């Protein structure tokens, strides 16, 4: 199958990131929101709390889906290219 994604190829076997560093911390500068959800958001509820999204790989790329509205929010076509990615989850302590 052409354009088959191989996430295991983006990080080497020792989970060492290939290429420039890619943080596993939240480095989002601009969040995606479902415009329909934002119209219905209750007072006092943040978009983060109200959001019900799924994110996943598709045959052509990556899709963001609103579960509440069963609607596409974004579908990015990788155009057959693979991209480096950090698939690690940082361990966080619950001590505050
Ligand atoms: Zn929505």
pLDDT digits (tens, 9 = 90+) for 14-25: 445 557 888 999
Distance 43 CA to ligand 1 centre (A): 16
- The alpha carbon of 94 and the centre of ligand 1 are apart by a number of angstroms equal to 31
Q: How far, in Å, is the centroid of ligand 1 from the Cα of 55?
A: 13
How far does the centroid of ligand 1 lie from the alpha carbon of residue 49, in Å?
13
Domain locations in the chain as residue ranges: 1-19+36-86
Q: What pTM value is reported for the model?
A: 0.74
HSE, side-chain direction, 13 A CA sphere, residue 29: 0
10 neighbors 87 (Cβ within 8 angstroms): yes
Q: Encode pLDDT of 15-57 as tens digits.
A: 455 578 889 999 999 999 999 999 999 999 999 999 999 999 9
């Amino acid at each position: 199958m052409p354009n088959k994604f191989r996430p295991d190829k983006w990080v080497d076997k020792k989970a060492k990131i290939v290429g420039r560093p890619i943080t596993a911390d939240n480095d989002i500068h601009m969040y995606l929101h479902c415009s329909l959800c934002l119209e219905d958001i209750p007072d006092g509820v943040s978009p983060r709390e109200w959001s019900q999204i799924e994110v996943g790989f598709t045959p052509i790329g990556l899709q963001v889906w609103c579960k509440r509205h069963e609607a596409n929010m974004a579908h990015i076509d990788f155009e057959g290219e693979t991209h480096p990615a950090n698939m690690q989850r940082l361990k966080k302590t619950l001590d505050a």
